[in-house]
Structure 1
Amino acid sequence: MAQTHLGKSIAQLSVLIQSGSLDPVALVEESLDAIRSHQDQAIFTRLLETRAKEEATASSKRLREGRSRGLLDGIPVAWKDLFAIAGLPTTAGSIVLADAEPASEDADVVKALHAAGMIAVGRVNMSEFAFSGLGLNPHYGTPLNPLATDVARIPGGSSSGSAVAVAAGLVPVSIGTDTGGSVRIPSAFNGLVGYKASRGRYSMAGVFPLATSLDSLGPLCRSVQDAIWVDAAMRGRFAPEVERAEPGGLSIVVPTNVVMDDAENGVLAAFEATLARLSGAGVKIRHAAFPAFDRLFQVMAEHGSLVTAEAFALHHRRLAGPEAEAMDRRVVARTRLGEKITLVGYLETLKVREQLIKEVAATLGPNEFIAYPTVAHVAPALAPLEADDELFVKINGRTLRNTAIGNFLDWCGVTLPAGTAEAGMPVGFLLSALKNHDERLLGAALALEETAAKDP
C-alpha cells in the first residue's frame, strides 16, 4: 500500500521534503487526487491543477539543486475564494461574479507564499461574500464538517472550505479571512488551529473585502508552529520572529460577562478543564468583568453593526439590481439591514469603538492575554439551519458573538483545540491579545498548545 502524506502538518511534511524523502510533485499529485476523489465535492470551488503541477516541478528542481526557498518550499496551500488568482475571476463564493473580469495578478499574500515556494492547489468554498459565520452556501454546496459522526454538521464560516480542506487532510493549510470570526470559528468547529492576525499585518491588495474596518487574514492549520511559519512568509520574512513563551511567565484574564452566556455545558466543562491544566502548568489566571463587551453590543443594537453598514455600502448596487435574485437569500436579507444604518450612527459606532479599545487596553497588564471559548457551542446540525431562516439568523448571531468581540476591539487571536463536548465535537480555546502584539500571542499559543489539547 502506498504511503499517504495526507493529514500531516506543515512541519511534518517539511522535514520529509527538505530531506529529499518526499518530492513536491508527488505530494501535490497526492493532494489533487485526494481532492478529486473525496466524497465531499463542495470543499473546493476550483482546482488549480496546471499551476500546482508547474509550481511543484519548479520546487522539486530547486530542492535537487540545493536552492530551497525555506521550510515552506513544496508545501500545498488552498486559498479562500476571495483571494485574487491571476487569470481567474474572484467569485467570493457567489455565482453573480462568475463572469467578472479575471484578475491581472495574484493577491499580494498569494505572491508572498508563492515566493516562499508554496504550491497553490485550489480555491476553497466559503459563505457567499464572507457574510455568515455558519458556512452554508446554496450555490456551490455546503462543505460538511468531517468530524461529525452522528448527523451532517456545519463547517463554520465564512472560511468553511478552508477548515474542511485541512481537517479532511486534503491540504496542510488554507488561508482565510476573518471579519467577525471567519478564521477562528471554522477552525474551532473542525479541531484546528486558526490564527487571526492583527488587522493590517498583511497586505490586503487583491483580497475581496467585506468590511475594511474589520477585515483581517490568517491561516487555518494543524499546529501553532505551522501558523508561525506561514505568518512569516505572508509578510515576506524568510524566518519567523516569534519566541516560545514560558507558561510560568504567562497571565490570562478570563471575562466573566457575555462570553459564557448560553454556552453549552460541554463547552464550559472543556474550557474550565483547559484552564485547570494551564494553571497546573504555571499560567496565572484571573477572572474579571469587561464592561466594554456589554457596551459594544449595546452600541451595535442601537446603531447597527459596522460589518452590516460596510457590506451594504459595498453591495448596495448589486442588491438593487437583478443580481440579488441570484444571491443567497440570507446574505441578501442581512446585507439589506445596512440600508437602515445612518451615517451618524456609523460614525458614532466608530467613535465608541476607539473609546472601548483604549478602555480595554488600560485594564490589561503589560503581559496579559484574554481567553474564553471560541464559540459557546459545538458545530450544530446542518439540516435545521437550511430549513429555518429564523433559526439561521439566531444561531449565526450566537456563533459570531465571542469572536466578533476581538474584531470590534481590533485584537489578534489564536483558537486552539481544547477537548471535545456534545456529540464528541471539538471545542476551541480562544487566546487573544491587543493589536500588533502578534509575536507575543503566537509565542504564548506555542507554549500552551500541547497543554490545551490534552484530554481531561
Structure 2
Amino acid sequence: MRKDLIATRQAIEQGHIHAQAVAEECLALAQSDSCQHAFIQLTPECLNKSDSTQALQKRPMAGLAVSIKDLFDVQGQVTAAGSVVLQGQAPASVDSQAVARLRAAGAGLIGRTNMVEFAFSGVGVNPHHGTPAAWDALTNSAAGSTFEPRVPGGSSSGAAVSVATGAAFIGLGSDTGGSIRIPAALNGLVGFKNTARSVPTQGALPLSTTLDTVCAMTRSVRDTILAHEILSARKVPSAHRPLPHYRLAVVNNLMQDHMDPHVTRAFERSLVTLRAAGAQIEEIALPELTELGTMMSAGGFSPAESFAWHQHLLAAHADQYDPRVAQRIQLGAPMKAHQYIDLVNARSAWIRRVEKALLGYDAILSPTTPITAPKLADVAPGAERDAEFFRVNGLLLRNTSAINTLDGCAISLPCHQAGDLPVGLMAWHAAMHDDTVLQLALLLEPLLQAH
C-alpha cells in the first residue's frame, strides 16, 4: 500500500519530496492501465495547486489529489452518475457542498470516478463505461499463471480503485447501502460511513433521500478522520482510552451467515488478535436484524425514492439504462403511499429497539461483507448472468445496508493477511457514535495490520 495522505504531506513539508512530483505521479497513475475504467473524466487540478509549501502549511489538503464520484456536482462539469442518459445535461453551475468543502481545504481534484449507474448496486459493474478491477485482488493475483479480474464493489467502484492504486489520496463517494464500505473491503482500503445527517448531501444526485450518506475512502484511519473532519466541518476529538476500556460486541446471527472461507478465517483471526491485545468482546444476539426482510417486503426506501426521481426519465429513455439498474428502480413503482408511511414508521420503531439493545457497547464488530470479491466474468453484463449478479449483490449489501437502515455509522478496516484476497472488518454503532467508532478504529488498525 502506498503512503497515506498525512505521511505524504509530512514528506513534502520536510523537503523529502516536492508537491509537484506527487501530483505528477498521481496523474500518471490515473492515466495508467492500473486505473483502467476507474475514471470517467480527468481534471488534474492537483497540478495547479501542488507547488506552494506555504499553502500546505495553511490548508490540510493543499494540492493533494482527491477523486470525485460521478454523483457530485462540480462547477462546469456534467453530473451523469455513471449513466449515458444524463450525459447531455447542462454542466453544474456550482460545486456540491462536499466538493466545496474539499476545495476550501485545498484539495486538488484529479477527476470524476466511474460508478454503478445511479449508484444502485453493491457489485460495481457498469456496462456504459466499463468496470475497473478490484486493485488489491489484481496485484495479489499477478504472480499467478492466469489473472482473472474481480469486481471492485459498488457503487463507488472507481473511487476505490483511484485510492488503492495511488491516483488519489481520498476518494469522495456516497453510501446508501454500503457503497463506500463494500469497495473499501474488496480493495483493502479504509471506508467510513458517517451518520447521514453529519455531512450535507446538497449537490449529490440522490438514490434514496432517506439513506444517502456522503463520505469517503482512504488508505488509513488517520486520513479517514481528516476527510471526515473536512466533510462534516467539525473536529473529531482525540481519545486516550486504551483498547481494554472499550466494550465491544459481535453479533452472532445474520452478519456471520454464509461467510466464505477467506472471510471466516480473516474475521476469526482478527477477533483472536484483538482479544489477545486486551479487547473486551462479547457475543450477542440481535434478533432485530432478522426483521429487515419483512420490513422491506414492500420494496424498501431505495426503489421507492429512486423511482420518484427517475419515473419520467425511465418512461422516455428506459432503453438507455443498465437493465439491472432499471429493474431495481422499477421495483418502487407499485409502492403505495400508505406502504411508504408504514415503512417510515416501522423503521423509526426498529431503530429505537436496536439502539436500546446496543446500550452499553462502544461498537459492534462484523465482517463488512460475507464474501470476497467475486470474479468479474461471473457477474458481467448479460442476461445469462443476472441470477448470479443479484445473488452476489444481495450478499455484498446484506451486512452494510443494515447500518444504513439503522441511520448508524460504520468503518471498514482491512483485516486480511498479505497475499490473501482483501477482507474488511466493520466496526459500527447507531447514529452519532461517529467519534467513538473512529477513535476505536485508530486502535484496531495497527493490530489488524500486524497479522
Which of these residues, 342, 345, 358, is aligned with residue 339 of structure 2? 345
Task: For 1:279, give the aligned amino acid.
Answer: R
1:355 aligns with 2:352: no
**Aligned partners of 1:144 and 1:67: how far apart in 2?**
33
**CA 1:249–1:89 in 2, change beyond 3 Å: closer, same or farther?**
same
Query: Deviation of residue 257 (structure 1)?
Result: 1.2
Between the aligned partners of 1:270 and 1:110, the Cα distance in structure 2 is: 35
Residue type of the alignment partner of 2:21: A
Partner of 2:58: 69
1:158 aligns with 2:174: no
How many angstroms apart in 1 are the aligned matches of 2:373 and 2:434? 27
Q: CA deviation at 1:71?
A: 3.4
Q: Within 2, Cα distance between the matches of 1:392 and 1:245? A: 43
Structure 1 letter corresponding to 2:254: V
Change (3 A) 1:259 1:274: same
Q: Is the 8 A contact 1:228 1:242 kept in 2?
A: no
Match of 2:154, SS?
A: coil
The residue matched to 2:292 in structure 1 has which SS? helix
Conserved 8 A contact 2:56-2:63 = no
Amino acid at match of 2:24: E
Letter in 2 for 1:127: V
Counterpart of 1:200 in structure 2 is 197
The separation in 2 between residues aligned to 1:244 and 1:13, in whole angstroms, is 26
Could you tell me which residue of structure 2 aligns to residue 250 of structure 1?
Answer: 246
CA pair 417-129 structure 1, distance change in 2 beyond 3 A: same
Quote the offset at 1:52 in angstroms.
Answer: 3.1
Task: From the superposition, tell whether residues 256 and 445 of structure 1 become closer, same or farther in structure 2 (CA, over 3 Å).
Answer: same
2:5 pairs with one of 10, 22, 47: 10
Matched, 1:235 2:232: yes
**Structure 1 residue 21 corresponds to structure 2 residue 10:** no
- What are the residue-to-residue correspondences of 1:161-310 with 2, within 5 Å? 161-237=158-234, 240-243=236-239, 245-301=241-297, 303-310=298-305
Give the residue type in structure 2 aligned to 1:241.
P
Partner of 2:83: 94
| Consecutive aligned runs of 4 or more in structure 1 exceeding 3 Å deviation | none
Tell me how far apart the structure 2 counterparts of residues 244 and 186 of structure 1 sit (CA, whole Å).
31
Kindly provide the amino acid, as one letter, of the partner of residue 80 in structure 1: K
For 1:213, what is the secondary structure of its paired residue? coil
The letter for the 2-side match of 1:282 is G
Deviation by residue 1:122-141 (Cα, 9 ceiling, x = unmatched): 11110000000000001110
> Is the contact between residue 155 and residue 186 of structure 1 (CA under 8 Å) also seen in structure 2?
yes
Matches of 2:161 and 2:309, distance apart in 1 = 28
TM-score of the superposition, structure 1-length normalised? 0.93
- Per-residue deviation, residues 74-119 of structure 1 (Å, max 9, x unmatched): 2211111111110011010111111111111111111111111111
CA contact (8 A) 2:296 2:343 kept: yes
Aligned equivalents of 1:75 and 1:21: distance in 2?
16
Decide whether the 8 Å contact of 2:66 with 2:170 is kept in 1.
yes
SS at match of 1:340: coil
Give the distance between the partners of 2:128 and 2:267, measured in 1 at CA: 36
After superposition, the Cα gap between the structure-2 partners of 1:40 and 1:277, relative to the gap in structure 1 and judged at 3 Å, is: same
The range that moved more, 423-432 or 15-24, is: 15-24
Match of 2:331, SS state, is helix
Shift in Å at residue 12 of structure 1?
1.2
Map 1:119-130 → 2, pairs under 5 A: 119-130=108-119
1:151 Cα offset (Å)? 1.4
Q: Is the 8 Å Cα contact of residues 207 and 306 (structure 2) preserved in structure 1?
A: yes
CA distance in 2, matches of 1:327, 1:383: 21
Separation in 2, partners of 1:276, 1:427: 16
What are the residue-to-residue correspondences of 1:399-410 with 2, within 5 Å?
399-410=396-407
In structure 2, what is the equivalent of residue 31 of structure 1? Answer: 26
- Render the CA deviation track for 1:230-250: whole Å, top value 9, x for unaligned: 11112334x543425420111
In structure 1, runs of 5+ residues without a counterpart are: 1-5
Question: RMSD between aligned alpha carbons?
Answer: 1.7
Aligned partner of 1:144 in structure 2 is 133
Shift of 1:256: 1.4
Name the CA shift for 1:37/1:256 in 2 (closer, same or farther; >3 Å): closer
Contact 2:29 2:35 in 1 (8 A): no
Q: Is the 8 A contact 2:46 2:107 kept in 1?
A: no
Cα distance in 1 for partners of 2:251, 2:56 equals 49
Q: Which residue of 2 aligns with 1:3?
A: none
Q: Counterparts of 1:337 and 1:67 in 2: how far apart (Å)?
A: 48
Whole-Å separation in 1 of the counterparts to 2:294 and 2:322 = 28
Measured after TM superposition, the shift of residue 268 of structure 1 is 1.4
Question: How much has 1:67 moved relative to structure 2?
Answer: 7.0
Question: What is the aligned length?
Answer: 440
Between 1:265-274 and 1:128-137, the stretch displaced more is 265-274
The SS at the match of 2:228 is helix
Please tell me whether the aligned partners of residues 32 and 121 of structure 1 are also in contact (alpha carbons under 8 angstroms).
yes
Work out the CA distance in 1 between the residues paired with 2:236 and 2:176: 25
For the 8 Å contact 2:13–2:56, the answer to whether it is kept is: no
Matches within 5 A, 1:387-406: 387=382, 388-406=385-403
How far off its partner does 1:366 sit?
A: 3.4
The one of 416, 421, 429 aligned to 1:419: 416
Q: Secondary structure at the match of 1:269?
A: helix
Q: Kindly, what percent of the aligned residue pairs are identical?
A: 36
Task: Report the Cα distance in structure 2 between the residues aligned to 1:287 and 1:209, rounded to whole angstroms.
Answer: 37
In structure 2, what is the Cα distance between the partners aligned to 1:42 and 1:268?
A: 31
- Are the counterparts in 1 of residues 56 and 62 from structure 2 also a CA contact under 8 Å? no
Q: 2-side partners of 1:187 and 1:231: how far apart?
A: 16
Q: Is the 8 A contact 1:195 1:220 kept in 2?
A: yes
Once residues 18 and 349 of structure 1 are traced to their aligned partners in structure 2, the CA distance between those partners, rounded to angstroms, is 52
Note closer, same or farther for the CA distance 1:91–1:14 as it changes in structure 2 (3 Å cut): same
Q: Which residue of 1 aligns with 2:99?
A: 110
The one-letter code of the counterpart of 1:211 is: S
